[in-house]
Structure 1
Amino acid sequence: MAVQFEDSFNRKFYYLRLSITDVCNFRCTYCLPDGYKPTQKNSSFLGLDELHRVVAAFADCGTSKVRITGGEPTLRKDFTDIVSMTAAQKGIEKIAMTTNGYRLEKHAQHWRDAGLTNINVSVDSLDPRMFHEITGENKFHQVMRGIDAAFDAGFEQVKVNAVLLKDLNSGELPAFLNWIKDKPIQLRFIELMQTGEMNSLFENHHVSGVSIRNHLIANGWIMKVRNQSDGPAEVFCHPDYTGEIGLIMPYKKDFCDSCNRLRVSAVGKLHMCLFGDYGVELRDLLQNDAQEKALIGRIQSALASKKQSHFLDQGHTGMTPHLASIGG
């Protein structure tokens, strides 16, 4: 194995978020309210061979978890092939995906058989009307059937992401808690994050996750210990609940101290942070296997410039126009 990817703050990177498309068929209020519009002119998405070389290089440098993201990753016709390729890579132990769930009902078993180990589904409301208002799509029941299909396919736990939005879904905590009482779901409340195109939305709808955190602790929920390849959520469990609660609070002090993930966009750019100022071009080194050493060297060199924090709390949103552009 090559040298473990590590930055100048001694943070090691075990987790790759690999975007395979920036296309999405939902119109979520906090991401693509006007629908998908191409952001990469005259540039195709990475092909299967190129994606394989990304995964291989990261695996050779200690990465054990790959999350396949978008946009909506399952819009790729070769999505199952990408899962299979990733699962076959030595050193990769977890293959996760984040999805809006619209294809999950039909394909959960197929993807599980291909090697997918973990699923995150976005469900921003348990009220079908509010779900429609937030996502722009009347697919609540279809997505919920997809979650049931994931359990039927053998996934032991499904993670469900809900972006907190003041005056929209922020009052649904009791309903969500009731939902996970007897279901092995890790429900993850994500604070709304300010991006370049969403300033007014952020001002109108941002709500801190601290109030939910305080509520959980006051009601007997206990924080779990993080594993080295876990994402940024603070996860809480309760003896009376089968499900868990995860809180992703990017505005919390020291949020970036435990950063263990890097991002590669669907067009082959390495991003140090979701809210970084630039991407590092990798695609020219993804054309044949003989370039892996140079690819690893470029990634290692780029890590020297990774900043200590995203500085979101200071109003810095970087170059990210919306979350779908580099995989959330």
Structure 2
Amino acid sequence: MKKALYDNHGRQISYLRLAVTDRCNLRCFYCMPEEGIKYMPREDLLTYEEMVRLVSLLSKMGIDKVRITGGEPFIRKDMPNFLAALSRLDDIQQINITTNGTTTADLVPELARMGIHSVNLSLDTLDRDRFFQITRRDSFDKVMETFEALLQHGIKTKINCVVMAGQNIQDLIPMAELTRRHPVSVRFIEEMPFNGEGQHYDQLHWHHANILAHLKEQFPDIEKLPDPPSSTSYNYQIPGHQGSVGIIAAYTRTFCGTCNRIRITPQGTLKTCLYDNGVFNIRDLIRAGATDEQIATTFLDALGNRARDGWEAERNRGFNVPVKESMAKIGG
């Protein structure tokens, strides 16, 4: 019988978000300052061998779904071989990837062959000029090539669109219109303060309720869909559209009660909540010679002291540790 992993609030933990690098070739407004961030030395990152060991261990404890993130994961060399190694782990049922799509198009056939379950493509606008304004890079055409390749090869595709006042509000309707012609999920995400600077606004206006109200102005017949267990998004269908629309309350944190995920940052820090300050460093345990049993015990101890929600996790950081680190350092 397959093992199950639970936290101290009775939530089953089955999903690992594993960041493989903090490096990124874009400079998105909501993720990092224009000048970028100070990257970690390469020797501080978990090696592929260390990550495969960790995923294998966690899969035996109850993790069956892994999402590979960054930074931009495909900037790290030899990613396909690493993904292939993960795909050979018997207890992992799904491998998913989040990418900005700038260097991914040529790899899509290989991803399809190795059975990657889904790809989340970060895309905040369908306008080339606004893409440059938001990302500070001229890579729109490369991202769209990746989008077309994903559709062509039948990989389940979700588009992640961060909603930003003064940046891309005019894009929400065109983004939703993508679901008319394509079987994709377009997910609108509340902006978070993980940008290397802190919250951009005194008050978040474009929260999930206002995003939905905006969509309803154009699509008054939009219908609520059932949300899968542990879903981070509220999901909707526009009648006549092939795809679906989701809204992720990433800042207002209304989905914490069913959270089934943990995060490991590129340097090996376990985060049992996106908003916590890190629980312990797995890399240091491994490099100190810890056995699998010792690592497993440390994970269980951490999950036995997990915050109830993102608000509690943020309070536990203390006043001297505000939420402002770049998402690239955490894992998007």
Q: TM-score, normalised to structure 2's length?
A: 0.89
The one of 300, 317, 327 aligned to 1:323: 327
Contact in 1 for aligned 2:262/2:271 (Cα 8 Å): yes
Q: Which residue of 1 aligns with 2:187?
A: 188
**Secondary structure in 2 matching 1:286:** helix
- Alpha-carbon deviation of 1:96? 0.6
Runs of 4+ in 1 over 6 A off after TM superposition: 312-317
How far 1:33 sits from its partner (Å)? 2.7
Report the secondary structure of 2:180's partner residue: coil
| Aligned equivalent of 1:248 | 248
How far does residue 223 in structure 1 lie from its aligned partner after superposition? 2.9
Give matches, 1:150-161, under 5 Å. Answer: 150-155=150-155, 157-161=156-160
Indicate the residue corresponding to 1:173 in structure 2.
Answer: 172
Could you tell me how far apart the structure 1 residues matched to 2:100 and 2:6 are? 32
State the 1:216 CA deviation.
5.0
- Going from structure 1 to structure 2, the CA distance change for 1:266 and 1:135 (only over 3 Å counts) comes to same
Secondary structure class of the residue paired with 2:263? strand
Which blocks of at least 5 consecutive residues in structure 2 are unaligned? none
1:231 CA drift (Å): 4.5
Are residues 251 and 37 of structure 1, via their aligned partners in 2, closer, same or farther at CA, if it must alter by over 3 Å? closer
Distance 1:130 1:2 in 2: 48
Kept after mapping to 1: 8 A contact 2:279/2:302: no
Alpha-carbon shift at residue 102 of structure 1 (Å): 0.6
- Do the aligned partners of 2:34 and 2:136 also contact (CA within 8 Å) in 1? no
Question: What does 1:1-328 correspond to in 2, within 5 Å?
Answer: 3-40=3-40, 43-155=43-155, 157-195=156-194, 197-199=196-198, 201-203=200-202, 207-216=206-215, 219-228=220-229, 231-252=231-252, 254-286=254-286, 291-311=291-311, 321-328=325-332
Residue 263 of structure 1: SS of its match in structure 2? strand
RMSD of aligned Cα (Å)? 2.6
Instruction: Tell me the SS of whatever aligns to 2:200.
Output: helix
Question: Contact 2:20/2:69 (CA < 8 Å) preserved in 1?
Answer: yes
SS at match of 1:201: coil
Structure 1, unmatched stretches of 5+, are: none
Q: Percent identity?
A: 29
Paired amino acid for 1:227: P
1:172 offset after TM fit, Å?
A: 1.9
AA aligned opposite 1:208: H
Question: Deviation string for 1:128-150 (max 9, x for gaps)?
Answer: 10011001111112211111011
Aligned residues: 326
One-letter amino acid of the structure 1 residue matched with residue 96 of structure 2: A
Residues 42 and 97 of structure 1: CA distance in aligned 2, closer, same or farther (over 3 Å): closer
Q: 1:135 to 1:204 in 2, by over 3 A?
A: farther
Mark the CA change 1:303 to 1:313 in structure 2 (over 3 Å): closer, same or farther.
Answer: closer
